[in-house]
Structures are given as structure tokens and as C-alpha cells.
Amino acid sequence: MKNREVKRSLFSKGSRLLVFAVAFGAAGLQSCKKKPATSEPVESATEANENISALLEQAQYLLDNVEKMSSSHVKTEIDRLRKAAGGNEEVEAILKQVEAKLGAKESINQAKMLVDNFENYDLDYVKEETEKLRNSSYAEVQTYVNQLDKMIAAREQRAVDARPLKVRLNDYMLSIANADSPAAADGYVNKALELFASPSVDVLIIIGIFDGEKDFDKPTTISQYLDYLKLQKKAPYRIENIEQDANGKIRLLELKK
């Protein structure tokens, strides 16, 4: 009987010890899982000011040396500094100056390249790029644009002059007859007259051929005939024959219905 009581007593003590050990172990395990939070280093006001000061120096250096750097490098540096500055107004103000200076540099370089390589480019491409530069606020760019306008006009005129004389004259006469306004017609009249030795060159209109001989209407001058086209707004006659002088100018024009 006494032995049973002893065993019961030991068992009760053992149970309490076992429960205590399990609880202690769980608490220890729980404490191992909980790691103390590490605090991030907080940037001091002095460090922040020093960082902005460094960024300002770098931005100013970029502004002072835009002309010496490639456009791609400048753009990369602008992005880096803008991100690092986090919206700082002083840094942003300098970066905007850098962007404006870079824009001027790129526009000037593009305009200069078009002038220097003008004959190697397709004329339509040159016209398109010139139009993009036309609204630039930079005086140097506008100087190049004016130069390009003259070069384009000269190149177009060369293309016109390279066409056969008969084709050029016929186009002018059709343009006079179909002009949208008297002023436009007068412009084509003046261009057509440049092909002739003088405004009084004879224009003969063939009304028939008899026994191999041409029969002409009453002669008129090229100046009178071109005015007729302007007033009538039609070109009823086609070019039959052109005679030129030693300078390549038209000295006689024959037309036929």
C-alpha cells in the first residue's frame, strides 16, 4: 500500500517536471524564432545635405561640359542624377538647363550634317529634316535652315533644268493655263520667258500643210501667247518645233493643234 503511494507521488512529481520542461522548451524555441528587429541606418541631415551638394556639383559639371560629351552619355547622366536627387529643385533646375543645352547641340549638329552632306541625301529626306528644324529657337540652327532652303531650291531648279527643253516649256504652258490665281500664272509666265531669247520671239501656229509646205496663222510673240494662255485658261496647241540660238535659248517656236 505504501509502495503504491510512493509511486503515485513520484509519478505526479514527474508529470509536473515533464510539463515544466516542455513549456520551457517551447518558450526557448519561440524566443529563437523571434529575432530582434535591426534598425536601418537613418541618414542624418548633414549627410543628406552633403549628398545634394555632391549632386549639384556633378550636375553643374555636366552643364559646363555638354559640348565635350556624347549625347548618349549626357542623357544617361541626366537620368542618374535626377533619380539620385529625388526631386530636389536645385538639382532639377540645373538638369533642365543641361537638357536645353543638349537640345541645341543636337539641333545644330543635325543641321550642320544636312548642309555638309546635302548632295548625298535624298531630297525628300532633307526637306523633311529641314522642316523639323524650322521652328527651332536657336539662331545658329535658323542660319543653317536658311542655307538649306537655298540649297533645296537650287537643287530642284537643277532637276527642272535637266529635263528636255520641250518638256519644260510644255509644263510651263500647262501650268499657266491651270494656275489657281493670276499671281501664280504670272510666276509661270516669267519662268517660261527665261527659256526664250527675248519676249518678242515669234510664235507660229500651224493651221495646215499643203504640198509639204506649212501654212501658218498670223504670227504672234511668245509674250502675247503666254498672256493668251493665262486669260483663256487653256492650252489648245502642242509644241511642234523649237529652234534655239547659240546660247540654247529659243529663237522660234512652232505650235500645232
**Per-residue pLDDT reduced to its tens digit, 45-59:** 787 778 899 999 999
The residues, any chain, with a CB within 8 Å of residue 225's CB and separated by 6 or more, are: 203, 255
pLDDT for 165-206, tens place per residue? 999 999 999 999 999 999 999 999 999 999 999 999 999 999
Distance of CA 48 to the CA centre of its chain: 41
The partner residues of 241 in beta bridges, in order of sequence, read 254
**Does residue 10 carry a pLDDT above 50?**
no
Instruction: Look at residue 40 and give its three-state secondary structure.
Output: coil
pTM above 0.85, yes or no: no
Q: Closest by alpha carbon to 153, among 99, 198, 191, 203? A: 191
The residues, any chain, with a CB within 8 Å of residue 88's CB and separated by 6 or more, are: 52, 55
